[in-house]
Structures are given as C-alpha cells and as structure tokens.
Structure 1
Amino acid sequence: MMIVSSADERKLIDSIPVNLHIGGEWRPASGGKTFSVDDPSTGEHLVDVADADAADAAAALDAAVAAQDSWAATPPRERSDILRRAFDAVTARADEFALLMTLEMGKSLVESRGEVAYGAEFLRWFSEQAVRIDGRYTTAPDGKSRLVTVKKPVGPCLLITPWNFPLAMATRKIGPALAAGCTMVVKPASATPLTTLLFAQVLQEAGVPDGVVNVIPTSSAGSTTGPLIADSRLRKLSFTGSTPVGQTLLAQASDNVLRTSMELGGNAPFLVFADADVDAAVQGAVAAKLRNIGEACTSANRFYVHEDVADEFSRKLGEAFAAKRVGRGTEAGVDLGPLIDDDARHRVAALVDDAVSRGATVVVGGSVIDGPGYFFEPTVVTDVPADARVMSEEIFGPVAPIARFSTEGEAIELANSTPFGLIAYAYTTDHDRILRLPNRLETGMLGINSGVISNPAAPFGGVKQSGLGREGGYEGIEEYLETVYVNIALT
C-alpha cells in the first residue's frame, strides 16, 4: 500500500480542477457560487467547487449540441484510440485517482485502487467496441427489396452519476457514449465531484474534442438538470441512484420521450443453502456486504440461510466482520472507511435499532463509532423478523441481517418479496438448483458461489424497480445507439 502524508493529500487536492468544464474550457459558475467538498473520515473541508446553475447547464448542452455532428462523424478507430489513451492515462495515474476517491468518498486506499482498475477497464472495453458497431443486410422475404439496418449515435446525453463509485460510474457511462459517437453533459454527485473533474481533464489530454464531454458539478441537481431534460435537443438520459429519484426523472423524461437508462436501488438477497460450502459462503458474504463499506447498490442486503447451517454461518460471519479494521482510508491496514455523511450513519443505526426492538440479536457490532468522521461498526444481526425495516429497505452500510429458511421454495419466495431486482447471490453445490435459480429469481444479475460479479464485459442492470437498460458488456453501447431501417427496392 502506498503511504501518504497530509502534504501529499493537500498537494493532490490543490492540483484538481474545481471549475466547470464546458466547451473545452474550465470556467467558474455563472453565478459565481461554490460548494464545499468534505472528507467524510474527518468531516473537514477539502476544497470548494464551482456550483453550476441552470444557465451553466444550458451552456453545457449548447456545447454538446454544437459538437455532436463532428464527433459522430469522427472515425470509429479515432474514437477507439482516444478511449485507449484515456485508459492508459487513468492506469498510469492510479495512485492519484485512488487517493482522491479515498479523500472525497472515504473508502480505503485498497478499495480505491480496485475501483481505479475496474473503472479503467470500461475505457478499454468500449475502446474495443467502438470499432465493432455494425448493422445488417438481408433480403426481404418476398425478394423485392433489400433490408438494411444502420446504427448511429442517439445524440447529446445527460449522464448523472452517484457518489459511491466516483470513477467507475463515470467511466461506465462516458465510455460507451464516446464509443458510440455521442456528446454529453455529466452531472457528478455533489459529495464526490473531484474524481469526475480529474477524469474530464484526463479525457481532454487524451484528445477528446472540445464540447464532447462537459461536466457541471452542482449543489442543486433538480433545478440544474430539470431544464436540460425538458430541452428537445437532449436525446438520452442515463442515471444511477435511488429509485425515488429515478422515478421522478423518468416522469420528466416522458415529455420528450427520451431514451433512458436507469440503474436504481437494490435489495439484494444472499441465499445460503444447506449443501453450500459454508466457509466459501462466508467469504463471499464479506465481499458482497462490505465492499465499498456496504455503500453499493450491489451490496448483499438480506441474508437468508438454511436452518441447518444458519448457526455456523452466523458465527463465522460475525468472526469475519469483527476482524475488519475501521478507520480513515489513508491509514495502513484499514479495511473499512466511514459512511458518506452523518445522516447515512444515523439511518444505518436506526435500522439496526429497529431490528433489535423486534427481537433480532446482534452478533457483532451494532453501534456508531465516535467521530471525527462518520463511522459505523461492521454488524451482524441474526433471527431478524420479516417485518424489520432492515429486511425491506436498502441499508447502504456495513450491516448483515440474517434470517432462516427451510426449503428452496421458501428461500425463493423470500428473495422475490421486494419491488427491487438488481442482483441476487446464492451459494449451493446442487447443479440442478444452479440451473433453476436464474429462471426463478426475479433479478437482473445473479452471483452463483460468487460475492463479486461486476465486470465491464458483462451487462449490468436490474428488473422491476431496480431500473431499465444495461451498462457494460456488448449491450452497454446499444444504449447510446439508434437503429435506422432502410428499405432498398429492386428495379
């Protein structure tokens, strides 16, 4: 692990652009306002960032619209080469990106470096997909014409990214948009805009033309992005965040019938069957629950464990959680950093208190850690009743609630008893069950004997109220392409 000092931190923060990035220029907000970005591990101020308003958003869309035709006409190989240069640059500057994410989001440096590697892979993957956009040519069934399909970029996009994976959520959207030939306005989360601003600088240095990528941090998301969504020149909206916000954005997008991609909330079940390798299940549970401090839409939210192995699993999971070191992410040996803010920490505490008040038992953890910073103990809670809030609400913290089941049918019914369907996990050695589960579980993604399944080469997305569309994989670039059908009559 790299060793950092407060001087290293200050030097990095002072080097990050903090203005809006519009039309290739770094400019202050039109109203001159800024907002503070803080370190969640200390609560201390890091830096002030330009605070965009509706006028800045309009200028960003103006720039994206002006650049759209020329960027769409840019040869695919050139777009591919730019993305590959961006991949190389992010990889070369991995230490900078990792430290910056740790400072503004809180995760440990080990996890931040993992995100840099993961996030950069979207740039490499979509650099390869940029030259593989194709259509098809067929003969009409009656033989009287030829049917041709052509793919072209959907047009200017609005990309809204969350705070929990500041780099990967940006690359997962920007990568395919660039590969497809789309220009964009990017609105990063106000809690973590610095990583996106640094990435915009890298893209500019990699050769992205002026106006193709525009970044507008803001402390007032609705009033800034609302006018953009209502603008008929915008043709695509991609959002990662909570389901309630996504529902609002979908309603707004309906007026102009925008193409939309929505990666929304999750409530992932983690199923451990009687035939499972319990030690492997515990290892997978730690990865699925504690990755990113539990602040991930893919985080395991509800643990359903067969009654025959529930006691062993709960004991071993508690031991694994107790061994995790909590602290500031820049410190050597730290496994888990703070939650993003004090509201998040107290919400997690309230979920644990509610479960205990309904009869659940705390195996390990369960308490707020005194500040500075917004820390919460890694927590395992057993015998959690179905009506506990922690079994129906997305936790977004390091808490693993465990309930028991008796049959496969019961486990599947419990897993599906939610309006969400982003991801599910299952540990079993029964091959027939492995083949049954994808069809019986209501989920967009399924990890079998695996606690981490996100991969740039695979389609990421959910069903039900967990969203629309897919990011990553071969499917990811399709979200930024329109299909044009051409009928050529034979004479």
Structure 2
Amino acid sequence: MTFEVIDPATLEVVATVDDQGVPDAVEAVDAATEAFPGWRTTPPRQRSEILHRAFALMIRDRDELARLISRENGKSLSDAAGEVTYAAEFFRWFAEEAVRPGGDFGESPAGGTRTLVTHRPVGVAALVTPWNFPAAMITRKIGPALAAGCTAVVKPAAETPLTALAIARLLTEAGLPDGVITVVTTTDASGVVGAWLDDERVRKISFTGSTAVGRVLLRHAADRVVNSSMELGGNAPFIVTDDADLDAAVAGAMIAKFRNGGQACTAANRFYVHASVAAAFTARFGAAVERLTVGPAAGGAAIGPLISAAALRRVTQRVDETVAAGARISHRAATPDAPGHFYPPTVLVDVPAGAAILREEIFGPVAAITTWTSEDELLKSVNDSEYGLAAYVFSGDLMHALRLGEAIDAGMVGVNRGLVSDPSAPFGGVKQSGLGREGARDGLREFQETRYLSVDWPA
C-alpha cells in the first residue's frame, strides 16, 4: 500500500510513498537490534566522521533539499534553505560531541574506593518527528543518537516523509552501516509507535509534537518505564517594554511570529506591549506584516500555506471567535487567489484578557496583541499558561530584560532577539511543554545512561 504526499500550496501530488504498518515497524526494530552491538562498539572517531560527512552532504544538497521541503511542507524557499543549514549543523555539532563523551573519576569521601563514572548508549531508540521542520527535527534526534552509539527507528510525519527519506539516503552515502537508522513511513502513527513502545528491545522514545499526543505516549511508555524525551507544545509570550528599541522589536517579532508561517512550537503567540509604545509598535509591526508576500514557494513568496485544510479551518475559527469577543484586525497581508491552504498574516489588537487565543497555541500567522502597564500583572498573565517552552523579551535595559527573563516560566528566553534555537544550546521547555533537552551536551545525554564502577582501592 502507498499514500500520497500533497503540496499544501498547490494541492498537487508530490509523490507516493510506502504506507508501512506494524509488521514493518517490527522489522525496523529487528534491524536496529542486530546493528546495535556493532554500532555501539564503533570507535567514537568513526561515528564522528560519518556525521561530519553527513553534514557536508546536506550542505552539498542544500538547494535540492530546500526545494523538497518546500514542496511537501509549503514553507518559503528562504525558510526551507535556512532549515537545511540549521538541520545540518546538528550533524556537525554531534560529530564533535561524539569524541567528547566525558566521564569522571574520583575518591569516595570515606576513602578505600575509587569511583569511575561512564556513559553508555541507551540502546534502540524510537524517534518520532513532526511535519513543521521535517529536516531539523530529524537531525536534532538522529545526530545525538548516532553520536551516543544508539541505533534508531524513525517515524516522520505522514505529511512530510520525503525529507526524512532523503536524509536517510545521505547517511547511507556518508557510510552509515545498514540497520543503524531505519525510516518507517506510515499513516498509522499510533499503530507503529505503539508497537515500538510495546517492544522490549526499544529502550528510548524521543517525540516532538503536540502536548496532547505527548501525554498519550508518556502513559504508554510508563508501562515499560521507557526512557522518554518529549518536546511538546508552546504558547510563547513576546514582551515589549516601554524603553525597547521598536525597530529591533519589530524585526524580532517578524522572525519569532512568522518563521514557517507561525507553524512552530517556539512561535510568538501572545504579544504583551507596554501601553506607552503599543500604538507605535503596532503601526510599525502592522506595516511590516502587510508587506509580507503570501503564496507558493516557487513564486518566491515569504509566507507559504498552512499544512492542511484542517489547520486552515482551525486558525480561521480562532480568529473569528476572537474578533467576535471584541478584538479587532488592525493589519493584514493579502492572500493569492490560489487553491492552497493560505491564511493571511494577521495582527489582532484590543484582544480581551480572557480570550482563548491567548491561552491556546495558534500555529498560524496570527499575532494577538494586548497591552500592559504593571509588571506584576504582566508576569502573572505571562505565566498563567500550562505551557513553558519559549519566550521573548525586548527592552532597552539589558538588566531589566534579564530580570524579566528569569521571572518567566519558560525553558528558553530570547533577549532582544526573535530566535532561540541553536544546536549548541539545550532546547526544551518546562511544565506541559516537555521533558528533556535537545542540542548541546544535554542532547547527547538524552541518549546515554550513566553508570559507575566502584573500585576497591586499599590505602
């Protein structure tokens, strides 16, 4: 059986891929289990060199990969090219981490023993990735898994399987042995992932997606106490203080809100602008939004479509409900007369404090602006959310910005910048936004288990 991959900008069929099921999922674990002993004992330098080659191959094929991402995901070519570069950096970063595994050695306080602390690979890992960043979400998991010595089975989103398959081919070209990574393309996500979580040979799950699905997977993983990393939903606040550089704040807002058309877990959702600068910020921000071009990537548009008709209906409904509750559309870009799932980048003002759009993840090109004067009330509103992934603060006083950043319940805070993701930084959230971290040394540790040897050491 097969399923079709649809371009959300044109609604044309891009490709057909195998619709694999539970038997294929089990076969993938068979291959990963067979490959694990050899891969875990492969010297770190050799694993590093494969990852370095994979980085170079992704950069070599950057334009081709960007076009592929744009076709199956719909994002602009500039966004897609930026994603490929970012995604490749995870292979380079973890190539370097692979040869720095770390460890410890020391004397116990009571004397008479020495403690040797080491890290070893968890084992076979199940990697489950979303459609919004089909390259970066794959490499952000595969990179540390391979560096740590794990083998893996990978389930990309059914909307965007082609990028995952392309990256798997590049890894083979880079010299990765058969069975170390197997991609399973499927429309039966629950069946495939459920089979992996039920398989005693799978010792790790790393998932990026919605909080609702993450909760289901965590409950399932609890049955066998499977090591779990969860990068879940967000509802990022974007704070502008009264002394902020408004040009810088607008530039940061355009990145934080409209990268990938707002379809990012780190996207700025709730804009809290100090009342004294709200009119000026909104005018400048709104003008920038109105200048955005919307349409298919092939035409050079800055903003592509939403991923599906269901996503388009959801965003439309949320905006309509907010306007009905008293909000007002102050600025809006134009959309093309085209068959794709296009929604106009929109700025909402006069948003009521209790509006649902301030509490839910929008996942679309909509900026909801509210104003503040009291910092205590601001922080109360900002932290009144079950999510805690990312936040953004723009202020002319760096110490003030840092104090605000420290008071926000979020795993990542952008201070005077609209982008928080970096392979060298620990990506992840608090509260209902997930467990664990990706990137940095923390990302490697997610695929390792710590153990120690207690050695008799007579005086």
Q: Give TM-score, length-normalised by structure 2.
A: 0.98
Q: Does 1:267 align with 2:235?
A: yes
Q: Does 1:214 align with 2:146?
A: no
Q: 2:129 touches 2:157 (CA, 8 Å); kept in 1?
A: yes
CA distance in 2, matches of 1:377, 1:438: 31
Deviation readout 1:104-162 (Å, 9 max, x if unpaired)? 00011111110011000000000000000021000011111001111100000000000
CA distance in 2, matches of 1:278, 1:95: 34
Aligned to 2:105: 137
Give the SS at the match of 2:202.
coil
CA distance in 1, matches of 2:337, 2:314: 15
Pairing 1:91-490 to 2, within 5 Å after superposition: 91-332=59-300, 334-365=301-332, 370-490=337-457
Give the SS at the match of 2:244.
coil
Give the SS at the match of 2:33.
helix
Give the C-alpha shift of residue 79 in structure 1: 0.1
Q: 1:382 touches 1:401 (CA, 8 Å); kept in 2?
A: yes
Give the C-alpha shift of residue 346 in structure 1: 1.2
CA distance in 1, matches of 2:374, 2:335: 36
Name segments (4+ residues, structure 1) moved above 3 Å.
366-371
CA distance in 2, matches of 1:289, 1:322: 14
CA distance in 2, matches of 1:185, 1:176: 14
RMSD: 1.1
Give the C-alpha shift of residue 432 in structure 1: 3.0
CA distance in 2, matches of 1:421, 1:326: 30
Give the C-alpha shift of residue 370 in structure 1: 4.7
Q: 2:315 touches 2:364 (CA, 8 Å); kept in 1?
A: yes
Aligned to 1:25: none
CA distance in 2, matches of 1:368, 1:65: 50
CA distance in 1, matches of 2:6, 2:297: 14
CA distance in 2, matches of 1:438, 1:406: 17
CA distance in 2, matches of 1:486, 1:255: 29
Deviation readout 1:384-417 (Å, 9 max, x if unpaired)? 0122221111111100000011122121111101
Amino-acid identity (%) = 51
Q: 1:422 touches 1:461 (CA, 8 Å); kept in 2?
A: yes
Give the SS at the match of 2:99.
helix
Give the SS at the match of 1:338.
coil
CA distance in 2, matches of 1:388, 1:441: 20
Deviation readout 1:165-193 (Å, 9 max, x if unpaired)? 00000000000000000000000000000
Give the SS at the match of 2:298.
coil
CA distance in 2, matches of 1:251, 1:379: 37
Give the SS at the match of 2:46.
helix
CA distance in 2, matches of 1:314, 1:286: 12
CA distance in 1, matches of 2:402, 2:3: 51
CA distance in 1, matches of 2:333, 2:318: 10
Q: Does 1:51 align with 2:19?
A: yes
* 1:232 partner letter: E
Which deviates more, 464-473 or 364-373? 364-373
- Are the structure 2 counterparts of residues 369 and 413 from structure 1 closer, same or farther at C-alpha, using a change threshold of 3 Å? farther
CA distance in 2, matches of 1:342, 1:89: 34
Q: 1:345 touches 1:368 (CA, 8 Å); kept in 2?
A: no
CA distance in 1, matches of 2:337, 2:364: 16
Give the C-alpha shift of residue 260 in structure 1: 0.7
Q: Give TM-score, length-normalised by structure 1.
A: 0.92
CA distance in 1, matches of 2:382, 2:251: 20
* 1:315 partner letter: A
CA distance in 2, matches of 1:433, 1:490: 52
* 2:223 partner letter: D
Aligned to 1:82: 50
Give the C-alpha shift of residue 435 in structure 1: 3.0
CA distance in 1, matches of 2:323, 2:157: 33
Give the SS at the match of 1:238.
strand
Deviation readout 1:91-113 (Å, 9 max, x if unpaired)? 00001100000000001111111
Q: 1:349 touches 1:366 (CA, 8 Å); kept in 2?
A: no
Q: 1:349 touches 1:367 (CA, 8 Å); kept in 2?
A: no
Give the SS at the match of 1:132.
coil
Deviation readout 1:291-337 (Å, 9 max, x if unpaired)? 001000010000011100111111111100000001101113x1111
* 1:297 partner letter: C
Give the SS at the match of 1:488.
strand
Give the C-alpha shift of residue 437 in structure 1: 2.2
CA distance in 1, matches of 2:329, 2:205: 42
CA distance in 1, matches of 2:145, 2:343: 37
Q: 2:130 touches 2:209 (CA, 8 Å); kept in 1?
A: yes
CA distance in 2, matches of 1:217, 1:314: 44
Task: Structure 1: give runs of 5+ residues left out of the alignment.
Answer: 1-32
CA distance in 2, matches of 1:434, 1:315: 23
Give the C-alpha shift of residue 485 in structure 1: 1.2
Give the SS at the match of 2:37.
helix
Q: 2:294 touches 2:335 (CA, 8 Å); kept in 1?
A: no
CA distance in 2, matches of 1:119, 1:202: 13
CA distance in 2, matches of 1:430, 1:275: 7
Aligned to 1:16: none
